[in-house]
Amino acid sequence: MINASEPQEQFQIDADRTTADEPRRAAVRQALGNYKTARSKTENAFASWPHARDAAATIKYEGINHLDRYLREFEEKFTARGGKVFWASSGAQAREYILRLARERAVKSIVKSKAMTSEEIHLNDALEKDGYHVIESDLGEFIQQLKHEPPYHFVFPCMHLKREEISALFERELGTAKTDSPEELTMIARRFLRRHYINADMGISGGNFIVAETGMISITENEGNARLATALPKIHVALVGIEKIIPRLADLALFLPMLATAGTGQQLTCYNSMYGGPRQPGEIDGPEEFHVVLLDNHRTRLLADAEQRDALHCIRCGACLNVCPIFKNIGGHAYGTTYQGPIGSVITPHFRGLQDWKHLSGASSLCGACTEACPVKIDIHHHLLQNRRNAVSEKKVWWERFIWFGFRELMKRPWAYQMAMRLAPVGQFFHPLVLGTALDPVNSWTKTRDFPAAAPQSFHDWWRDRKGVRK
Amino acid sequence: MRVTLFIPCFIDSLYPKVAMSIVQIFERLGHEVDYPEGQTCCGQPPFNSGYWDEAREVAARQLEVFRDAEVVVSASGSCGAMFKKFYLELFHGHPQEAAAKALAAKTYEFSEFLVDKLGVRDVGARFDGKVTFHDGCHGLRELGTKEAPRELLRAVKGLELIEMGEAESCCGFGGMFAVKFPQISTAMAEVKCNSIIDTGVEYVVSNDSSCLMQIQGYLSRHSPRVVKSLHLAEVLAQQ
């Protein structure tokens, strides 16, 4: 693998490599083909999917546009039951809070359930550097942790792997026997993970929704690992992005089936749990301490952008990745971001700098499949267009400026345009002289595709001739 | 009705037959056709590249050219979407905002105009062959044109319409995207074209020549057998 210094250069290199890997692309296509079938079936179980989307977008709009009020309401209700809330402006603050907590409570072993926020702030690296033993308990995340690789897809972390690859990984890392049975592979992970739940003194989770009205965190999962990771250790820390807010408990009646439908094509995920605080007097289980870390980490920067604020409606279902032809062909790792796919291409420039990450907004045919699939109606592909515009108004690239200057001068003068159209066949006559060489101005097209021949007579000239004859 | 044509720049120079076919169809249906000769490009290339100031100057020119038209029919869904949707954003808060709104309101994509505005389904065409239809993304998702081209094709005598699995998947053209990210664009074309080839058709038809440039460009280089691409108008013009 080649490492480039610039994210844009790295992206081009990785996209070259991954698009050439047809077996991997075929596997991803097949997995997502199954998703499409399942999803359309479940969508039909809604009285009206379009109306459900409208309702969801309205609720998220309300939550995000009154974020201050609803977050404070959450804090008030949650702390009243003995929970602790930490407001983290940055990833560094969130990391520091969790590290300090682990240090003060003499934590040794940490078990985690799936949390993209922890990937976002590189929490595992920080914890491991300070000597803590950290284990991922979501099966996909566990596999990726063993592989020392970031998640491939923020909902399906190891969707790119075949079962024989997982078997080989377990053989190497855990010393288990070779198997091609998914059930057996799951049992291997389960047996390995069980003792870690029992030994861990801290459990770290994410959160799918923050319910303001009742001061609760809602977690959606299919494996039951989050329930164990949050209930068994004596300390539970939930690291949640502030945009996960919803105003009312009743809103979950829409959002839980919607997240399952858009995310995996399920009607509901297997486990949906509400976490409202630490163990209460008289309760027999649950953590002694429960901390919620509310993570901003540039989300308020996105909030300040009225045009793209709806990107904070995202419930991280991954639907936009699942339908994206770019994602399907380049795969998740090529993006080089925590959040892959179309929504990642929208928000990453806000989180990590527009000039460094604008190429992701450029790497789109703007087909709009993402926007069509988004359950909360984020105008994803138009935001990509706005990112391109914003990047240019911030800083123009000299050669692009030169091209579009020429284009403008040509296209605003019909006589110049028509002359260029008449010259096109002449230019094309000489094209074979440079075809396939570095001198070919359209090499990046002709390398893989044929270019049509310019017609000997343009429509414009045909029309003019015809008009002349008719007169 | 007096139909004013918007013939995008690449159709003008690379696919003039598409525009000639459109003229033929409207005249056959008894409409008067007009083609303002001052038209050039809708400005989508700089617009999609983020160069909105440059795009606006080119677009302003088209606002002028089509100011007096009764209805404007675009030969391409993508360039039609530029008039109908993106000019509204491009001119938002600018002096020409009202003109942009007026143009948007009277612009139609070719198949949508025939079916939804004129109420025509059978244009009296005959075309012998198996055909699959590719939905251009801008026509499909920006303008919501899905059924109109299919209704027109189903009414063509001798034509058998076979849907492909990936009808709504992007072909990977995307304007400058196709040359800035050729590897991704080509991979997308591969998926699309394999789906076309799998149907066993002889022709792939679309209402967007830009997609067809990509599809034909890939097919003629890589396809094991000949599949020809045609604009919807080229099919409907045949008798």
pLDDT in tens, A75-126: 999 999 999 999 999 999 999 999 999 999 999 999 999 999 999 999 999 9
Is the Cα torsion angle B131, B136, B140, B145 positive or negative in sign?
negative
Structure tokens at A35: 């998703």
CATH number of B122-236: 3.40.50.11810
Q: Identify the weakest region by mean pLDDT among A395-399, A424-428, B99-103.
A: A424-428
Taking residues A383-411, report their average pLDDT.
Answer: 96
Q: What share of chain B is helix, strand, coil (3-state, %, to 5)?
A: 50, 15, 35
CATH number of A46-297: 3.40.50.10420
Taking residues B124-148, report their average pLDDT.
Answer: 97
Q: Count of A–B CB contacts within 8 Å?
A: 178
Residue B149 has pLDDT above 90, yes or no: yes
How far is the alpha carbon of A36 from chain B, nearest alpha carbon, in Å? 12
Average pLDDT of every residue of chain A: 95
Structure tokens at B227: 């599949």
Per-residue pLDDT tens for A339-355? 999 999 999 999 999 99
Domain boundary assignment for chain B: 2-116, 122-236
- The DSSP line for A235-246 is EEEEEEEGGGEE
Residue spans in chain A of domains classed CATH 3.40.50.10420: 46-297
B62: nearest CA in chain A?
A412
Percent of chain A with pLDDT over 70: 99
Report the C-alpha gap between B180 and B177 in whole angstroms.
Answer: 5
Q: Identify the weakest region by mean pLDDT among A27-31, A161-165, A229-233, A434-438.
A: A434-438
Give the model's pLDDT for residue A28.
95
Give the model's pLDDT for residue A1.
62
Taking residues A137-160, report their average pLDDT.
Answer: 97
Q: Is B183 helix (H, G, I), strand (E, B) or coil?
A: helix
The ipTM (two decimal places) reads: 0.96
| Whether B169 and A421 lie within 8 Å, measured CB to CB | no
Residue spans in chain A of domains classed CATH 1.10.1060.10: 301-394
How far is the alpha carbon of A293 from chain B, nearest alpha carbon, in Å? 37
Average pLDDT of every residue of chain B: 97
DSSP-assigned letter for residue B84 = I
B222: nearest CA in chain A?
A449
Taking residues B211-226, report their average pLDDT.
Answer: 96
Task: Please identify which residue in the block is written with the tokens 């990785």.
Answer: A14
In sequence order, which residues have a C-beta less than 8 Å from that of residue B35 and are 6 or more positions away?
Answer: A463, B4, B5, B7, B23
Residue A288 binned pLDDT confidence (cut-offs 50, 70, 90): very high
Residue A45 has pLDDT above 90, yes or no: yes
B50: nearest CA in chain A?
A389
Residue A73 has pLDDT above 70, yes or no: yes
Per-residue pLDDT tens for B23-55? 999 999 999 999 999 999 999 999 999 999 999
Taking residues A194-202, report their average pLDDT.
Answer: 93
Report the C-alpha gap between B62 and B65 in whole angstroms.
Answer: 5
Q: What angle do CA A95, A100, A103 make, to 5 degrees?
A: 125
Give the model's pLDDT for residue A436.
74
Report the C-alpha gap between A38 and A23 in whole angstroms.
Answer: 23
In sequence order, which residues have a C-beta less than 8 Å from that of residue A440 and are 6 or more positions away?
Answer: A431, A434, A446
**What are the chain B neighbours of A366 within 8 Å (beta carbons)?**
48, 137, 174, 177
| Whether A449 and B186 lie within 8 Å, measured CB to CB | yes
Percent of chain B with pLDDT over 90: 99
How far is the alpha carbon of A255 from chain B, nearest alpha carbon, in Å? 25
**CB < 8 Å from B in window 216-255 of A:** none
Residue B217 binned pLDDT confidence (cut-offs 50, 70, 90): very high
Report the C-alpha gap between A77 and A80 in whole angstroms.
Answer: 5
How far is the alpha carbon of A358 from chain B, nearest alpha carbon, in Å? 11
Taking residues A161-171, report their average pLDDT.
Answer: 96
Structure tokens at A71: 């977050």
Taking residues B201-205, report their average pLDDT.
Answer: 98
Report the C-alpha gap between A376 and A244 in whole angstroms.
Answer: 13
Q: Which of A411, A460, A466 is the best substitution to test chain B (most B C-beta atoms within 10 A)?
A: A411
Give the model's pLDDT for residue A194.
92
Report the C-alpha gap between B121 and B168 in whole angstroms.
Answer: 22
CATH number of A301-394: 1.10.1060.10
Give the model's pLDDT for residue A471.
61
How far is the alpha carbon of B60 from chain A, nearest alpha carbon, in Å? 9
- The DSSP line for A304-366 is T-TTTGGGGG-----HHHHH-HHHHHH-SGGG-SSS-HHHHHHHHHHHH-HHHHHHHHHS---
| Whether B40 and A417 lie within 8 Å, measured CB to CB | yes
Report the C-alpha gap between A368 and B102 in whole angstroms.
Answer: 25
Strand partners, A133: A109
Pairing mode of beta strands A216-221, A209-211: antiparallel
**CB < 8 Å from B in window 288-327 of A:** 325-326
In sequence order, which residues have a C-beta less than 8 Å from that of residue A209 and are 6 or more positions away?
Answer: A217, A218, A244, A245, A246, A251, A252, A255, A315
Give the model's pLDDT for residue A200.
96
Per-residue pLDDT tens for A263-280? 999 999 999 999 999 999
**What are the chain A neighbours of B35 within 8 Å (beta carbons)?**
463
Give the end-to-end CA distance of chain A in Å, rounded to a whole number.
Answer: 67
Is the Cα torsion angle A69, A73, A76, A82 positive or negative in sign?
negative
**CB < 8 Å from B in window 366-395 of A:** 366-369, 371-372, 385, 388-393
Please choose, from the candidates A322, A329, A159, the residue with its C-alpha nearest in 3D space to the C-alpha of residue B190.
A329
A330: nearest CA in chain B?
B184
| Whether A449 and B172 lie within 8 Å, measured CB to CB | no
